[in-house]
Structure 1
Amino acid sequence: MVELLLIVGVIGNIISVLMFLSPVKTFWRIVKNRSTEEFESLAYICTLLNSSLWTYYGIIKPGSYLVATVNGFGVVVETVYVFLFLLCAPPFQKGKTAILFGILNVGFLAAVLCVTYLLLNGEMRINATGYMASGLNIVMYGSPLAGMKRVVMTKSVEYMPFFLSFFFFLNGGIWTFYAVLAQDWFLGVPNVIGFLLGALQLFLYAIYKNRRPSKDKGWITQRLLPSTSDHNTIVEP
């Protein structure tokens, strides 16, 4: 069982790394054009917070080093994404991104670390961190619903890249399997949701990939790629 858990965890790490790296093409476009165009930073900021919480969870929970390592990698990658966004965004977006980063990735994260580390011990600390990380993960896994709505309305998958959706689906599935083996329901519940939403994204992709996009004047363009990534926010294990 221990060997199987290790194998599944390593496979999960590989898939998660690929998912973290899936927005590279988007950021190459941003850097090349020196503009964030209509892309939004919220997905990357939330993914950075999520990765940070799962890294902390993996550190404090015995035997969860695979969760800590892959999310530690996610923290580095998402920090680079946010930095590039700040570098290339117009003044208003730059200010909004900086404020969100300060509130979520500095203020909120510092509060969580201080409260759980100074006021809680043992299982209470692990459980409190697990509840917060799992809850945030569920919220982030729900964010593709807006992107899927756009796909249906515009009949276009332009802003729902196949590989991001594919790794989103694989990531949810492999970490659900890992959670069952490890009996870690904090890890399992959000990834079951991610697996199902990933499957739905692939289903929509199969339906609309060859259709010509329709113009919907009522749809406000909001390019959001992920984390999990349209987030398709990159969502970590």
Structure 2
Amino acid sequence: MAEKLHMAVGIMGNAASFLLFAAPVLTFARVIRKKSTEEFSCVPYIISLSNCLIYTWYGFPVVSNKWENFPLVTINGLGILFEFSFIFIYLWFASAKRKIKVAVATISVVTAFCIVALVSSFAFHDHHHRKIFVGSVGLFVATAMYGSPLVVVKQVILTKSVEFMPFYLSFFSFLASSLWLAYGVLSHDLFLSTPNMLGSPLGFLQLVLYCIYRKNKGVTEETLKWDPEKNDDKTKQLQPQL
């Protein structure tokens, strides 16, 4: 029964994470249509790529025991494809200066991952120590990824407006974090549950703020719902530039 519950939570976590990974498709459809990255930042996608690479490796039998963390491999493997696609599109339409910065950052992330994979494979000789090493790196990366929405949370509190915080991103972030937190608890795996102990409350905080300030958006709710581009015009002002 416990094993079936564990697998069911993993499948639901995969579904929620898929929706979260797919959310930027609207943004990049705009980039392709306008043939410009405008003021959008590539930083979130590079950080997300790093997270997906680490946790895909964490789920492989080289690190985990057999295929006990197979759901991690499937969803993070898909996440790698999403993030590489977004970065490629960004590089295609970015200015020359940004192309260099994004390329250097992406190569650095991939190189760092390769080092982690090699060290974990050859410097450690059992699953326990490999999981500790790779999990510790993943914990750091996941904390950075989940901590990034704090900039938006601060802006919402200061402006008392949710025009900078799309509801669906907050909702899927909270849902995915909560499900992976449950998955980590059921697995008795601190390296899976700990980062989501940060991500889940932050997602919930965003939803609470949305409920409090939902009537003060600067633009109408229907506009944000049906025209993501107008919402992007607002959110891009808050994104760190790369």
Class of the TM-score when normalised by the shorter of the 2 chains: 0.7 to 0.9
Deviations 1:47-86 (A, max 9, x none): 0011000000000202111111110110111110110111
1:97-116 aligned at under 5 Å gives the runs 97-104=102-109, 106-116=110-120
Distance 1:180 1:114, change over 3 A: same
Aligned twin of 2:231: none
TM-score, normalized by length of structure 2?
0.86
Pick from 124, 140, 146 the counterpart of residue 129 of structure 2.
Answer: 124
Q: Percent identity?
A: 38
Aligned twin of 1:230: none
1:88-99 aligned at under 5 Å gives the runs 88-99=93-104
Kindly provide the amino acid, as one letter, of the partner of residue 61 in structure 1.
Answer: S
Aligned twin of 1:141: 146
Distance 1:76 1:143 in 2: 21
Aligned twin of 1:180: 185
Distance 1:107 1:185 in 2: 26
Aligned twin of 1:191: 196
CA RMSD, 1 decimal: 1.8
Distance 1:95 1:150 in 2: 30
After the TM superposition, list the runs of 4 or more consecutive aligned residues in structure 1 that deviate by more than 6 angstroms.
Answer: none
Distance 1:14 1:84 in 2: 24
Pick from 42, 64, 67 the counterpart of residue 61 of structure 1.
Answer: 64
TM-score, normalized by length of structure 1?
0.87
Aligned twin of 2:239: 223
Are the counterparts in 1 of residues 151 and 238 from structure 2 also a CA contact under 8 Å?
A: no
How far has the Cα of 1:30 moved from its partner?
Answer: 1.1
Distance 1:212 1:157, change over 3 A: closer
Distance 1:54 1:175, change over 3 A: same
Aligned twin of 1:49: 50
Q: Which has the higher contact order (CA 8 A, sep 6+)?
A: 1
Are the counterparts in 1 of residues 180 and 193 from structure 2 also a CA contact under 8 Å?
A: yes
Distance 1:5 1:161 in 2: 31
Please tell me whether residue 12 in structure 1 is matched to residue 13 in structure 2: yes
List gaps (5 residues or longer) in structure 2.
220-235
Are the counterparts in 1 of residues 152 and 238 from structure 2 also a CA contact under 8 Å?
A: no
How far has the Cα of 1:45 moved from its partner?
Answer: 0.5
SS in 2 for 1:157: coil
Are the counterparts in 2 of residues 169 and 194 from structure 1 also a CA contact under 8 Å?
A: yes
Task: Single out whichever of 117-126 and 78-87 deviates more from structure 2.
Answer: 117-126
